[in-house]
Structure 1
């Protein structure tokens, strides 16, 4: 005999599943609409990580209140950046101006040299150059938008650093009580991984920037300080950053003779070997072991969603994403209890 309540139970289950599916679709659409705000929030988390990395040791050693430690750490970071800019700005501004002036001339000279050994139809046509110029204009506009968002990122970072526990507890409470311990542990692990990655990346940026500046000076390239600063800043962008940083130096070196060009190639390749075989293993030892392919896919995917700002933040997003996936999906799937250690 059939249970008369069975059809109603099936109908209620169907309705519940439909409502859940609609809610998930609506949530996905909402997240898509506010994706830029989410990216700014993540950038703020990186800024907060840097501030807290200095504020927490300061608080432990002095016993000062958290807010005072955060304010002092933020002031110290601003003072350090301002002092460094004040020290290098006179030389850097001159060298950057020279670099901007010399690069177009170097490109023209390089094009003339290539034209002597290549057929005319192998050189870029005027239409191709116009398309490249239009693309550069588009990228410049996107870069300006990313720079304008920097103020919001810094403000978000300061707010997160002032009361990180409050925001972490609020995030944890969005999940069912049975999952809150695991989510809390996942967020803690992601924060620790992000902190280790950021500190390691700062070391890598300083090392590569200093190495390029000293190497370019030793080779005799124009504007070594500007080239070093460009290389250090672009080191933050995975995969394509180091390649893009080498382009100005290689263009200049190509107009200065074959030996200079070869020394410049050796300089950049040697520093990348130092980064790949020494710096990156030290960084990965403290965070999730993110394969290079994941960094590359993250760069492409996040860059397609968010533009240049997404490209810049793709590496830390990959690190945090892998840690959260491991803590919230892989370990539960395999019956591992991450809330009591790294099992």
Structure 2
């Protein structure tokens, strides 16, 4: 029996279809690989930015020492880097025992604090609904998974810190190598623009660092004083915790207030209200003092856009992304302003000049 042979056109169409399917699969696979590489590369970029910020702090402190003492650059930088590590070591040395004691006290008190909070929360119908929702196994598991993902990083926290510290030291020792290397990659007619952008970014990052350091010191001192007067346990640890979380705008202040208010609830409801007011007033005073300093050194970022960038960065890169969301957003604004907005404005100015009639021809 002779089988019917398929026409050549049909065979060619089937081969073309199979080729298209394989091409599509290859493109999708390539996109997935590129996305995965880009995500890892983005986390590396964040670590580079963190190292740059620490290096900017060292150079800013070195500039201050050089202006005040009239010393040469190298001794000023040695004092900046070495003095910072020595100061941190002394602080941990003198405060370490007190901090360890208060951390133990906080860990011993916290279970009773949470139980007391749940008891007070269950007294209202709305509070009971919240407890039922959080105690549900599925919801609890979702919250745990979300928290783990939220605070996860690509290489682990200790690995990231290790890499960031080494990057900051290398950037501090010889910053001109990296700055000139970036400028070398730019076309000759754009080198001046590249220098201008780098200078603007450096100025902006210095302003952000000054504002953050001032915020951390002020909020730590104010909260430690207020919580000590109120007789709240582990006042030093709570104040340091709030100071460290100040580096995370919007969300950090809210997260820092929770353990302090919970501990105050073990004393009385009035104490909890007063402690909450201490947190709110301290944050408000610090924000009103520091915000003008930051706005003078940085681009005035819209609050809603800042929150959106924090949520996006937290989803992509965890806690490191949240911390660096504001300086990264500032860098993006500077790049857009220099590479797009000013170019558009210059073109509009040229068009407006060309459209004006020549007064000499009118005469």
TM-score w.r.t. length of structure 1: 0.83
Q: Which digits, 9 at most, give the CA deviation of each residue in 1:275-323, with x for residues without a partner?
A: 3322212221222112222221221122222111111111221222222
- Evaluate the alpha carbon distance shift between residue 35 and residue 247 of structure 1 in structure 2; reply closer, same or farther with a 3 A threshold: same
State the partner residue of 2:109.
Answer: 102
Shift of 1:104: 1.8
Shift of 1:203: 0.3
Distance in 2 of aligned mates of 1:118 and 1:255: 22
User: Quick one: which of 55, 76, 91 aligns to 1:48?
Assistant: 55
State the partner residue of 1:340.
Answer: none
The answer (yes or no) to whether the contact 2:154–2:317 under 8 Å persists in 1 is: no
State the partner residue of 1:231.
Answer: 242
- Evaluate the alpha carbon distance shift between residue 330 and residue 139 of structure 1 in structure 2; reply closer, same or farther with a 3 A threshold: closer
Distance in 2 of aligned mates of 1:88 and 1:322: 40
The answer (yes or no) to whether the contact 2:207–2:293 under 8 Å persists in 1 is: no
Alignment of 1:319 onto 2:330: yes
Distance in 1 of aligned mates of 2:200 and 2:149: 38
State the partner residue of 2:8.
Answer: none
Alignment of 1:257 onto 2:264: no
- Structure (1 or 2) with the larger CA radius of gyration: 2
- Evaluate the alpha carbon distance shift between residue 141 and residue 322 of structure 1 in structure 2; reply closer, same or farther with a 3 A threshold: closer
Equivalent runs, 1:31-110 vs 2, <5 Å: 31-59=38-66, 61-66=69-74, 68-110=75-117
Query: What secondary structure sits across from 1:116 in the alignment?
Result: coil
- Evaluate the alpha carbon distance shift between residue 325 and residue 270 of structure 1 in structure 2; reply closer, same or farther with a 3 A threshold: same
Distance in 1 of aligned mates of 2:305 and 2:146: 27
Query: What secondary structure sits across from 2:62 in the alignment?
Result: helix
Distance in 1 of aligned mates of 2:105 and 2:299: 42
Structure 2 gaps, min length 5: 1-30, 348-363
The answer (yes or no) to whether the contact 1:99–1:222 under 8 Å persists in 2 is: yes
State the partner residue of 2:16.
Answer: none
Equivalent runs, 1:1-343 vs 2, <5 Å: 31-59=38-66, 61-66=69-74, 68-118=75-125, 122-124=130-132, 125-127=135-137, 128-139=139-150, 142=153, 145-335=156-346
- Evaluate the alpha carbon distance shift between residue 281 and residue 143 of structure 1 in structure 2; reply closer, same or farther with a 3 A threshold: farther
Higher mean alpha-carbon deviation, 123-132 vs 69-78, is at: 123-132
The answer (yes or no) to whether the contact 1:187–1:324 under 8 Å persists in 2 is: no
The answer (yes or no) to whether the contact 1:146–1:308 under 8 Å persists in 2 is: no
The Cα RMSD (Å) is 2.4
State the partner residue of 2:11.
Answer: none
Query: What secondary structure sits across from 2:297 in the alignment?
Result: coil
The answer (yes or no) to whether the contact 2:152–2:318 under 8 Å persists in 1 is: no
- Evaluate the alpha carbon distance shift between residue 275 and residue 323 of structure 1 in structure 2; reply closer, same or farther with a 3 A threshold: farther
| Residue-pair matches, total | 310
- Evaluate the alpha carbon distance shift between residue 123 and residue 328 of structure 1 in structure 2; reply closer, same or farther with a 3 A threshold: same
Q: Which digits, 9 at most, give the CA deviation of each residue in 1:158-211, with x for residues without a partner?
A: 111111122111112222211111111011011011011101110011111111
Distance in 1 of aligned mates of 2:301 and 2:92: 33
Distance in 2 of aligned mates of 1:206 and 1:212: 10
Q: Which digits, 9 at most, give the CA deviation of each residue in 1:247-302, with x for residues without a partner?
A: 10111122321210110111111112113322212221222112222221221122
Shift of 1:115: 2.0
Higher mean alpha-carbon deviation, 231-240 vs 142-151, is at: 142-151
The answer (yes or no) to whether the contact 1:299–1:311 under 8 Å persists in 2 is: yes
Distance in 2 of aligned mates of 1:140 and 1:290: 25
Higher mean alpha-carbon deviation, 230-239 vs 211-220, is at: 211-220
